[in-house]
Amino acid sequence: MGHDHESALAFLLNRLRPAAGRAVAIAHAFVAGGAESDSERPLSVGTAGQVGVRVFAGFAYAALGHLHRPQTLGNARYSGSLLKYSTSEAGQKKSVTLVDLDGGTEEFVLRPRRDLRCVTGAFDELLQAPPSDDYLFFTLLDTGLIPNAAQRLREVYPQFLGLELRKAREAGEARAGKAASPMQMFAGFWQHVAGEEATAEQRAVVASFLEETE
């Protein structure tokens, strides 16, 4: 049967592929070239679990499951998940697909009771915006720390999912992969978020904490 996911799937499909006429393949697989989302469980380590769309050659249509984004790859299509399960899916349009082997496919967009959206803005502006029952994840543009930010947003937006400070995220991205001591990481984080150097007193508090955790 082979020693990887693609060869094993190809072996099984070869046994099912019709010699004549038309047939539809239904499979749960990660086809190479497909667009991923954060909420999918990995099928393998790295790319070892990916299969080429060529394994579905000879089938009139392949209906696939696994990837949450609706998309077409050759003669195969992912209808995608019915709902959004992570912020990486916020911009997606969920749908179901009607397939006519003689007339192609037709996509019907789903409109859930509550959408999942990512919202960016200054904290005070977000508090003044109209209330919403959608599932919301916030990216704050403020440069300083905001006391009880999550609780205050939740009072306006009951389906609050979470928040992040853009400055903090950018600082983490800039330092990703760079070797730095915990104190250097703190100092860089504080400089990026607060716009000023960490004081000696602040460094002393962090140093004390680091000593307790060693």
List the chain domain ranges.
5-109, 114-174, 179-214
Q: Where are the beta strands (DSSP E) in the chain?
A: 24-28, 30-31, 50-51, 61-65, 71-73, 76-78, 95-100, 104-109, 116-121, 135-140, 160-165
How many residues can be counted in the chain?
214
Instruction: Check residue 147 and give its pLDDT.
Output: 87
Helix axes 200-213, 182-194, angle to 10 degrees: 140
Segment-wise mean pLDDT, segments of 10 residues, the chain, 214 residues? 79 87 91 86 60 92 93 93 93 93 89 95 93 94 86 94 77 55 80 75 84 73
Residue burial 83-112, b: 16+ Cβ < 10 Å; e: rest: ebeebbbbebebeeeeeeeeeeeeeeeeee
What 8-state DSSP symbol labels residue 3? S
Instruction: Check residue 195 and give its pLDDT.
Output: 65
Distance between CA atoms of 171 and 143, rounded to whole angstroms? 12
Backbone angles phi, psi at 6, to 5 degrees: -65, -45
Instruction: Check residue 108 and give its pLDDT.
Output: 94
Instruction: Check residue 207 and give its pLDDT.
Output: 85
pTM of the model: 0.67
Instruction: Check residue 181 and give its pLDDT.
Output: 81
Instruction: Check residue 95 and give its pLDDT.
Output: 94
Instruction: Check residue 45 and give its pLDDT.
Output: 43
Instruction: Check residue 178 and give its pLDDT.
Output: 57
Instruction: Check residue 209 and give its pLDDT.
Output: 80
Instruction: Check residue 2 and give its pLDDT.
Output: 57
The CATH superfamily holding the domain 5-109 is: Metallo-dependent phosphatases (3.60.21.10)
